[in-house]
Structure 1
């Protein structure tokens, strides 16, 4: 008499896609003889797919590449998220701080009111996603303010209308885009160079305009009135 076959085991071995019901959800059991069903693969997370690839791989070079890839994916996703937020963010300098003896919630309310007035001047009609001061409280000068807007269109409008600040009596308030550390270093170097070129002159001739060192005489009238 032929040996009795366990139906449960047989069913487990013949699940379409080359994996068992129990293994499929964890990205395991994809043997080399059967091609996994694409629908099953789409149910796996990126980390599960990478794990399955590493388990099936026999090439040591490919294995190292997959390990590096598994580290890069989360970092690059995080960088993309940060870049998207940066494309909607403004940094404001020169906006007066509330009295330091106020409660934190009162200082935040004061900041939100000032930002609302600022956006009116910049002709931006929206409710900011985030508003906060950066760094530790410094009695000697106001901290920078970060404003995250809901869209890039609002961001472009704000920067385009930064020239309105001067005529509104806020000549000492400056609005710029949010920058990476490398961009900030480059901007600082340009400002240092502009300062050196203007040294000893009766009036400024050089300014940093949109990430470039420019002569004021080369700028249009509207650009000269800008907030830079």
Structure 2
């Protein structure tokens, strides 16, 4: 891997070569030693703003920080966009695949038709933004399905009515919120804890609710609390 100093210099050169004409048009005036109040900073992109600051900066430590910032901004923006999409997404498991020799377009139409049937059961009135199978096809089990919904309202409705699937022809299909790898790992560990605590009990006492291990009796005390995000471990 190249030395860090070289990488920072290359990043500075890239910033210097991008958007020069727009910087020249919008850059602050230094003729009097003060910044121009007429500069339209809103017209500059993030990289152009960083370049303008670099041109006026004389502190080498500030330069290093600005170059690191230039790397972080696009990455963090991408992460924010992904998090926003994830907050409107649900994941379906157990949804039967189309016949194996179907064309890709036929498989997609089959999937969308089944997803619309599920949304009817969940009382979600909308057209999904995205619907697709995740990962490669395997003969042993149906792949997970990611569904991106238009709003958080539709997302909440889907999760709140997930229990309707069992009694409306989708007993083997389950719906959950979309999660990161770390969230899935934590959820799995909490489910294992809930199973252990409920072992031998005739009534399920512990559930996973909004990322926490909670007693069912505690959830029923609050008048505004619902069980839409609760996961009930199966009795063994």
TM-score range, shorter chain: 0.7 to 0.9
Provide the aligned C-alpha RMSD in A.
2.9
TM-score using structure 2 length: 0.76
Measured in 2, the distance between the counterparts of 1:171 and 1:43 equals 54
Report if the CA contact (8 A) 1:162-1:227 is conserved: no
Report if the CA contact (8 A) 1:163-1:227 is conserved: no
Per mean C-alpha deviation after superposition, the further-off stretch among 205-214 and 153-162 is 205-214
What is the aligned partner in structure 2 of residue 11 from structure 1?
none
Measured in 2, the distance between the counterparts of 1:172 and 1:219 equals 26
Report if the CA contact (8 A) 2:29-2:35 is conserved: no
What is the aligned partner in structure 2 of residue 64 from structure 1?
64
5+ residue gaps in structure 1? Answer: 1-20
Measured in 2, the distance between the counterparts of 1:83 and 1:22 equals 32
Report if the CA contact (8 A) 1:166-1:227 is conserved: no
Question: How far does residue 122 in structure 1 lie from its aligned partner after superposition?
Answer: 0.5
State the number of aligned residues. 207
Alignment of 1:68-217 (within 5 A): 68-199=68-199, 205-215=205-215
5+ residue gaps in structure 2? Answer: 1-20, 221-225
TM-score using structure 1 length: 0.78
Deviation by residue 1:12-63 (Cα, 9 ceiling, x = unmatched): xxxxxxxxx8861485986673523544433322111101211211112211
Question: How far does residue 178 in structure 1 lie from its aligned partner after superposition?
Answer: 0.9
Deviation by residue 1:52-80 (Cα, 9 ceiling, x = unmatched): 21121111221122112111111111111
Measured in 2, the distance between the counterparts of 1:51 and 1:189 equals 46
Secondary structure at the residue paired with 1:36?
A: coil
Report if the CA contact (8 A) 1:198-1:205 is conserved: yes
- The structure that has the greater radius of gyration is 1
Deviation by residue 1:115-168 (Cα, 9 ceiling, x = unmatched): 000000011111101000111111111111000011111111111111211221
Summarize the Cα distance change of 1:92–1:105 in structure 2 as closer, same or farther, 3 Å threshold: same
Measured in 2, the distance between the counterparts of 1:23 and 1:186 equals 47
